[in-house]
Amino acid sequence: MKKTALEEKLKHIPDSPGVYLFKDEKERVLYVGKAKSLKNRVRSYFRSSSSLEPRKQKMVRKVRDLSVLVTENELEALALEANLIKEYRPKYNVILRDDKNYPYIRLSINEEWPRLEIVRRIAKDGALYFGPYIPAGAIRETLSYIRRSFGIRPCRYKLDKPMRPCIQYQMKRCPAPCAGLIGRDEYMKAVRDVELFLRGKKDELISDLEKTMRVLSDRMEYEEAAKVRDRLKALRIAFDSQRVIAPELGDMDVFGTYSEGGETAVQVLFVRNGLLTGEKVFYLKDTAGLSLTDLLGMVIKSFYSGDVAVPPQVILEGDPEDREVITEWLSERRGKRVRLIVPKRGKKRELLDMAVSNARNSFGERRKVGADELVSELMSLLQLKEMPSSIGAFDISTTFGRHSVGAFIWWEEGEFRKENYRHVHIRETPGIDDYAMMEETVRRVTKNLTGNLPDIVIIDGGEGQLKRAYEGMRSVIAEGDIPVVVGLAKKPDRLIFPDGREVLLRGGGRAAMLLIKIRDEVHRFGISFHRKVRGKGMLESRLESVKGIGKKRRLALLRHFRSVRDIEKAGVEEIARVEGMNRKLAEELLEALKERS
């Protein structure tokens, strides 16, 4: 779109609330914003007197087209803006990059016999959710302790009909409600104790257990009383190991920031029931000129647009842009009132200072790595004219032409961006043809990413793979849009350029080590997916020949068991519990697998 056409569009922007999208000459979304008045906000970017911060000045110079979406009110505009930023991930929006949703513990009190599990998405299903727990190792330790100490079933069975207890009962880790060996009232008391533990209600839980121990002792049920005594001892140790901030604070997220040299570190502390359940740090580039108000507004919108539980309190260093609208949006997402608090003193201020201090320390540690020097070394090695910020890599994995897969990974700003990872089943290339498989993988991934490839692309292989990879890109995007593409071969490790030049990666330089690390990561990603596909294929092929095991039952077995070995190790009762199976079929399946082993 020519500049004159853009100017014509600017004349007809409605004076209504809504969302605007700025695009470059290739129709890629550069920036998504919202406004109470689209007419005033959008035009303000293009006034000569406009005092834009450097980041937005750079963006405006690239704008060649725009789109606007009118909404009923500013709240709708904010919600739409958050969704569009999440969808397009525009270059000039502040985006908190993360590779996965945060883990929570789900207690299914909506079921007759509640159970515990780790989930990464929160649903409005009547269950209780606790967390997030970061790092993820903390949640596994908590869950393991609860299952050892409270007697909550670990299985996912429906328990709609009686069955024999499994090995978990024999290990004294499950009271076997499936076999009717515990009454529901007694089981629900254990569930209530778990809820108290996860809510950090130390005094109430310990008081209840001490009372139970005394009652058992008075009845001269000394063995049961001793079990409660041991559980109390373990519980006190578990509570002592928790990072207690202040029980009276309840639930809150605390955001602290530190900026220097156009970069910013954002530290988030997750406090639940007065306990510090996790923390996460994000790094942002090109934040020079952004006010704290603008920065906090963008950070809050980006953070809570994902699958994150919104707490009743959000602690900040200052008021974000559009404070009232953001408060209303968060309250709507939570289903209850949310408060944005800028504390001046007290425990909340101490928590905020802790978050700011952690952001400063994290920023300093990251700077020690010397990312700028690494990029300069990379530019020299690859003879680049422009500074790169992202690197991708392609690889394929196959077993003599069977179960063939392709893999792609993305590295950016010092981290692997797993949200941009891709893998494909090779379907169009028959037999053993590594070159054609690479071309198919590159073509399909490039199409999936709508042509938005990283600045540098590494092809795991030699001249043949490099040539076919280039052809795969050229079939999807224009020649001028193809990034820097190089091959990285082994024995010895060397770069291969499209013009046939080769450069040995000697001396262990940082840039060379980074490229090898990226190649090894795509190799790992491809191999792990290949093993998964191959394992399922082998399992399916062995199951297909068993009489009575059709497609539906095969899929059910595949969901429940990960390998043939796991099925062979399982007992008849466990296999019979799988959906669609029964005892007779389970016996026949084990017998058939035994004959074929």
What pLDDT does residue 524 have? 92
Residue 467, classed as helix, strand or coil, is helix
What pLDDT does residue 105 have? 87
- Exposed/middle/buried for 329, CB within 10 Å: 0-12, 13-18, 19+? buried
The position carrying tokens 């539980």 is 309
Extended beta strands in 285-315, E state:
313-315
Residue 531, C-beta contacts closer than 8 angstroms, at least 6 positions apart = none
What's the chain's Rg over C-alpha atoms?
A: 29
| Stretch 523-540: mean pLDDT | 76
| Range in 142-151, 172-181, 439-448 the model is least confident about | 142-151
Q: Is the pLDDT of residue 367 over 70?
A: no
Residue 396, φ and ψ in degrees, nearest 5: -125, 160
Q: DSSP label at 518? A: H
Q: Is the pLDDT of residue 26 over 70?
A: yes
Rounded Cα distance, 155 and 597, in Å: 29
| Range in 158-162, 267-271, 373-377 the model is least confident about | 373-377
What pLDDT does residue 564 have? 65
User: What pTM does this model have?
Assistant: 0.64
Q: Are 254 and 277 in contact (CB under 8 A)?
A: no
- Exposed/middle/buried for 1, CB within 10 Å: 0-12, 13-18, 19+? middle
pLDDT digits (tens, 9 = 90+) for 140-163: 777 877 887 788 888 888 887 888
Rounded Cα distance, 443 and 448, in Å: 9
3-88 to CATH, choices 3.40.718.10, 3.40.50.1820, 3.40.190.10, 3.40.1440.10: 3.40.1440.10
Which pLDDT band holds residue 239 (cuts at 50, 70, 90)? Answer: low
377-533 to CATH, choices 1.25.40.10, 1.10.1200.10, 3.30.420.340, 3.40.50.300: 3.30.420.340
Rounded Cα distance, 345 and 409, in Å: 46
Residue 344, φ and ψ in degrees, nearest 5: -105, -25
What pLDDT does residue 468 have? 93
The rounded Cα 547 to chain-centroid distance in angstroms is 41
Q: Please enumerate, as own/partner, the contacts of 112-117 that have beta carbons within 8 Å and a separation of 24 or more.
A: 112/159, 112/184, 113/153, 113/159, 113/177, 113/184, 113/187, 114/152, 114/188, 114/191, 115/152, 115/153, 115/154, 115/155, 115/156, 116/143, 116/146, 116/147, 116/152, 116/154, 116/194, 117/156
Q: Is the pLDDT of residue 172 over 90?
A: no
What pLDDT does residue 547 have? 75
Top-confidence residue, 212 or 349: 349
Q: Are 405 and 536 in contact (CB under 8 A)?
A: no
What pLDDT does residue 97 have? 65
Pinpoint the alpha helices (H) of 545-582: 551-560, 564-569, 572-576
The position carrying tokens 């999807």 is 476
Rounded Cα distance, 41 and 343, in Å: 31
| Stretch 487-496: mean pLDDT | 88
pLDDT digits (tens, 9 = 90+) for 179-220: 889 999 989 988 988 888 888 777 777 787 888 888 888 888
- Exposed/middle/buried for 206, CB within 10 Å: 0-12, 13-18, 19+? middle
Q: What is the H or E stretch that residue 415 is in?
A: strand 415-416
Rounded Cα distance, 468 and 433, in Å: 11
- Exposed/middle/buried for 280, CB within 10 Å: 0-12, 13-18, 19+? middle
Selection from 214-228, 476-490, 550-564 with the highest mean pLDDT: 476-490
Residue 202, classed as helix, strand or coil, is helix
Question: Could you tell me the strand order of the sheet in which 116-119 lies?
Answer: 116-119, 104-107, 128-130
What pLDDT does residue 530 have? 84
Top-confidence residue, 142 or 260: 260
Identical fold at 249-368 and 377-533? yes
CA 331 to each of CA 299, 311, 359: distance values in angstroms, whole numbers, following the listed order: 17, 9, 27
DSSP letters along 112-144, please? Answer: SS--EEEESS---SS-EEE---BSHHHHHHHHH
| Stretch 75-104: mean pLDDT | 82
| Stretch 259-277: mean pLDDT | 88
| Range in 38-52, 227-241, 490-504 the model is least confident about | 227-241
| Stretch 511-534: mean pLDDT | 88
Sketch the domain layout of the chain as residue ranges: 3-88, 104-241, 249-368, 377-533, 545-596
Q: Is the pLDDT of residue 572 over 70?
A: yes
Which pLDDT band holds residue 375 (cuts at 50, 70, 90)? Answer: confident
Q: Is the pLDDT of residue 553 over 50?
A: yes
Q: What is the torsion angle, in degrees rounded to the nearest 10, for the CA atoms of residue 160, residue 164, residue 169 and residue 175?
A: 40
Top-confidence residue, 290 or 413: 290
Rounded Cα distance, 198 and 103, in Å: 14
| Stretch 440-456: mean pLDDT | 88
Two structure tokens written together for 553: 């039952």
The rounded mean pLDDT for the chain is 84
Q: What is the H or E stretch that residue 204 is in?
A: helix 202-218
Angle between the N-to-C axes of helices 551-560 and 510-544, in degrees from 0 to 180, rounded to the nearest 10: 140
Which pLDDT band holds residue 100 (cuts at 50, 70, 90)? Answer: low
Two structure tokens written together for 384: 């680049």
249-368 to CATH, choices 3.40.630.30, 3.40.47.10, 3.40.50.920, 3.30.420.10: 3.30.420.10
What pLDDT does residue 391 have? 92
CA geometry: angle at 225 spanning 221 and 227, to 5°? 125
| Stretch 124-149: mean pLDDT | 79
**Is the alpha carbon torsion for 161, 164, 168, 169 positive or negative?**
positive
Top-confidence residue, 251 or 133: 251
Q: Is the pLDDT of residue 6 over 50?
A: yes
DSSP letters along 224-245, please? Answer: HHHHHHHHHHHHHHHHHHS-B-
What pLDDT does residue 505 have? 82
What pLDDT does residue 1 have? 46
Which pLDDT band holds residue 372 (cuts at 50, 70, 90)? Answer: low
Which pLDDT band holds residue 538 (cuts at 50, 70, 90)? Answer: low
Q: Are 106 and 117 in contact (CB under 8 A)?
A: yes
In CATH, 545-596 is 1.10.150.20: yes
Which pLDDT band holds residue 351 (cuts at 50, 70, 90)? Answer: very high
Top-confidence residue, 398 or 469: 469
Which pLDDT band holds residue 539 (cuts at 50, 70, 90)? Answer: low
Rounded Cα distance, 255 and 418, in Å: 24
| Stretch 223-232: mean pLDDT | 80
| Stretch 341-345: mean pLDDT | 94
